[in-house]
Amino acid sequence: MPRNRSPHAMVYVTAPDLETARRIGRAIVEQRLAACANLWPVESTYRWKGALEDAHEVVLVFKTRKALVGRLIEAVSAIHPYE
């Protein structure tokens, strides 16, 4: 790898709906914690509080640098509606 380039990373996040995903994606890119946020709809099956759940969600994939991953996670956690 060339010395002038930082290793890259991708961060996967789900959101409850498109509006929330757009708000999170825009905030992270505006803060320069990621160069890009890709969004697409998904169907998820997961266990929550002991029950099996099915939901429509929106996936965000952030393209960033490894050095920014911790700060990106903190920023998403501060504005994300999920527990």
Specify the pTM.
0.87
Question: Per residue in 42-62, pLDDT tens?
Answer: 999 999 999 999 999 999 999
For residues 46-63, one letter each, b for 16 or more C-beta atoms within 10 angstroms of the residue's C-beta and e for the rest, the string is: eeeeeeeeeeebbebebe
Instruction: Tell me the DSSP string of 59-78.
Output: EEEEEEEGGGHHHHHHHHHH
* Contact yes or no for 37/28 (Cβ under 8 A): yes
Question: Per residue in 16-42, pLDDT tens?
Answer: 999 999 999 999 999 999 999 999 999
The DSSP call for residue 35 is: S
